[in-house]
Every structure is written in C-alpha cells, then in structure tokens.
C-alpha cells in the first residue's frame, strides 16, 4: 500500500512545485494551525493544567543546565523522562477523546464562545433561589459550578444546553421524571453548559454509607477538579456543597450564598473566571 501511495505522489509532484519561500510558508501555516486546534481541544480540561506544569518543569530543567546545577538537572531530566510516560497513561481518556474528534471530523469545528453578560451576584441569586425551592419541595439536584480547571470531558457526557442560567430552568431540569433530572448540571460562568452529565464517584473509603450517589459524585468531581458541587437531597431536602474533596452539609440559603460569594467573587484564585467589570472593588 505504501508503495502505491509513494508512486501516486511521485506522479503528482512535478505538478505541485512551489518556490521555497511558499513551501516554508505553507509548512509553517499548517503546523501552526494544527497546534492551535490541539490547544483548543485541551482548553478547559484537566490536561491544560498538566501541560502548564510540564512547561514549567521543562523550563526549570533547562535553567538548571544553564546554571550548571548538575544534581538538580539530573533529577529534573529523569523526572521529565518518566513524566512523559506517566502522562500518556494518566491522560489516556483525553488522548482517546482527541483521536475521536479527529476521526469524526470535529477537529476543525468552530469553537463555541460563551458570553459573560450577567453580573455574578445575579448568577449566585439564581442558583440559591433554585436550590432553596428544590429543597422545600425535596427535589433532588446536583449542580456543578466550573472554576479554573476545565471539565469539558464531563460536559461531553451530558446533553449540551448552552443557555442563560436562570432558577426556573434549573428547577425544570431537575423536576422528577424529566429526561435530564438524574444527571448533573454544569454551570460555566453565567450559562448552563450541559445537563444530564455523569460525574466520577469519590474513591474515599471513609465516606458515610448514608450518603447517596449524588453526594459521592459531587465529592468525586471536587476531588478531580476545583469545581464546586451543590447537592439538594431528595430524601430530606438538605442543601450540601462539595469543595476540594470536603462535604459541607445543612446549608441554608444565606450559607450557600456566602459560600458562592466567597469562592467566586472575593477569592483571588477565582478572579480569572470573571471579566474585570465583575471583580469586586477592594
């Protein structure tokens, strides 16, 4: 087969001769475009954070070589060698997802850009209002608010919505017997990105057996990312949150609002989520 392809290109080659300058421009343009699409593919996923750490590690390795810090250089060099293999193993799902995008022809799709029109206080009010209403009616709900670590891999497990976040829409999604009420809703900035999403369950063996699947899923996503998960129990209407692998229970509307304000408005680590016009005055 390869011989046949080689002969085919040998026949075509005389007809596609370009000056060397044009060849280099085409070469650089294709490589740049492919790299750009790859960066878009890993954007807002866990792989993005790992690549940033790998870039810092490579920079530190080169710097230690320049400064002739041979012991540090030897350690970093061997760490990078092992780290590349470890990345291939740990991020096997992301690599498979990238290959699937290419195979399905989605590699060249246009990106969807989400608007940032709504003030964060309005977003928080809508989430709190919906959580309180569902708690009073004992409607089970699981809302995941994305922060700095992208969770596109989780979003792709559900149904894409990309709609303005409102309390009424959240309540409609989680209504009993609704098609998407069993999964999680993913909130990205001021919009509902997807619903009916599947979350990774926590592997913590010390979790109380009284906690159901929603609480375990909320803890799981908070362990694998910096997202905040909000849970409304359908058994007793208790509002809980999961953040950094820790569960906070028995929250009222004011407690939930304070937590959202602390994390998404005043917390310096979350400021990159909102545009400058959203940032609280100091």
Q: Name all domains of the chain by residue range, CATH numbers in brackets.
A: 2-103 (no CATH), 120-278 (3.40.1700.10)
pLDDT per residue as tens digits for the range 126-174? 999 999 999 999 999 999 999 877 788 899 899 999 999 999 999 999 9
pLDDT per residue as tens digits for the range 181-196? 999 999 998 899 999 9
pLDDT per residue as tens digits for the range 225-279? 889 999 999 999 999 999 988 999 999 999 999 989 887 665 444 444 444 444 4
10-47 as b/e, with b when 16 or more CB fall inside 10 Å? eeeeeeeeeeeeeeeeeeeeeeeeeeebeeebbebbbb
Q: Distance (Å, rounded) from C-alpha 224 to C-alpha 199?
A: 10
pLDDT per residue as tens digits for the range 78-112? 887 777 777 777 666 666 656 655 654 555 544 33
pLDDT > 80? residue 117 = no
Q: How many CB atoms lie within 10 A of CB 141?
A: 24
Cα torsion through 70, 74, 79, 80, rounded to 10: 80
The predicted pLDDT at position 124 comes to 92
pLDDT per residue as tens digits for the range 28-48? 888 888 888 777 766 656 667
Alpha-carbon dihedral sign for residues 39, 159, 227, 261: positive
pLDDT > 50? residue 3 = yes
The predicted pLDDT at position 277 comes to 43
Place of tokens 């309540």: 171
Alpha-carbon dihedral sign for residues 115, 118, 120, 126: negative
pLDDT per residue as tens digits for the range 52-63? 777 888 888 889
Residue 175: which H helix or E strand, with range? none
Q: Distance (Å, rounded) from C-alpha 224 to C-alpha 244?
A: 8
The predicted pLDDT at position 228 comes to 94
Which structure tokens are listed for 114? 């989400």
The predicted pLDDT at position 15 comes to 57
The predicted pLDDT at position 249 comes to 93
The predicted pLDDT at position 101 comes to 57
The predicted pLDDT at position 148 comes to 78
pLDDT per residue as tens digits for the range 193-221? 999 999 999 888 888 888 899 999 999 99
The predicted pLDDT at position 4 comes to 67
């Amino acid at each position: 087969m390869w011989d046949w392809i080689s002969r085919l290109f040998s026949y075509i080659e005389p007809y596609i001769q370009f000056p060397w300058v044009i060849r280099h421009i085409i070469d650089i343009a294709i490589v740049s475009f492919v790299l750009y699409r790859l960066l878009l593919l890993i954007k807002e996923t866990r792989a993005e954070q790992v690549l940033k750490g790998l870039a810092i590690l490579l920079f530190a390795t080169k710097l230690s070589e320049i400064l002739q810090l041979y012991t540090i250089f030897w350690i970093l060099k061997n760490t990078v060698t092992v780290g590349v293999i470890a990345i291939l193993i740990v991020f096997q799902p992301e690599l498979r997802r990238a290959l699937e995008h290419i195979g399905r022809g989605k590699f060249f799709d246009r990106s969807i850009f989400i608007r940032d029109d709504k003030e964060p206080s309005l977003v928080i009010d809508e989430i709190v209002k919906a959580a309180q209403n569902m708690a009073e009616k004992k409607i089970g709900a699981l809302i995941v608010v994305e922060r700095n670590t992208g969770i596109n891999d989780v979003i792709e497990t559900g149904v894409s919505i990309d709609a303005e976040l409102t309390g009424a829409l959240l309540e409609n999604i989680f209504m009993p017997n609704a098609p998407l009420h069993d999964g999680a809703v993913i909130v990205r900035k001021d919009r509902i990105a997807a619903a009916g999403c599947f979350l990774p369950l926590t592997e913590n063996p010390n979790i109380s057996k009284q906690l159901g699947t929603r609480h375990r899923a909320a803890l799981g996503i908070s362990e694998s990312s910096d997202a905040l998960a909000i849970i409304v129990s359908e058994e007793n209407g208790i509002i809980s949150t999961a953040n950094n692998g820790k569960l906070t229970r028995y929250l009222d509307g004011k407690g939930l609002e304070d937590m959202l304000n602390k994390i998404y408005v005043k917390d310096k680590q979350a400021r990159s989520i909102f545009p400058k016009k959203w940032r609280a005055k100091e």
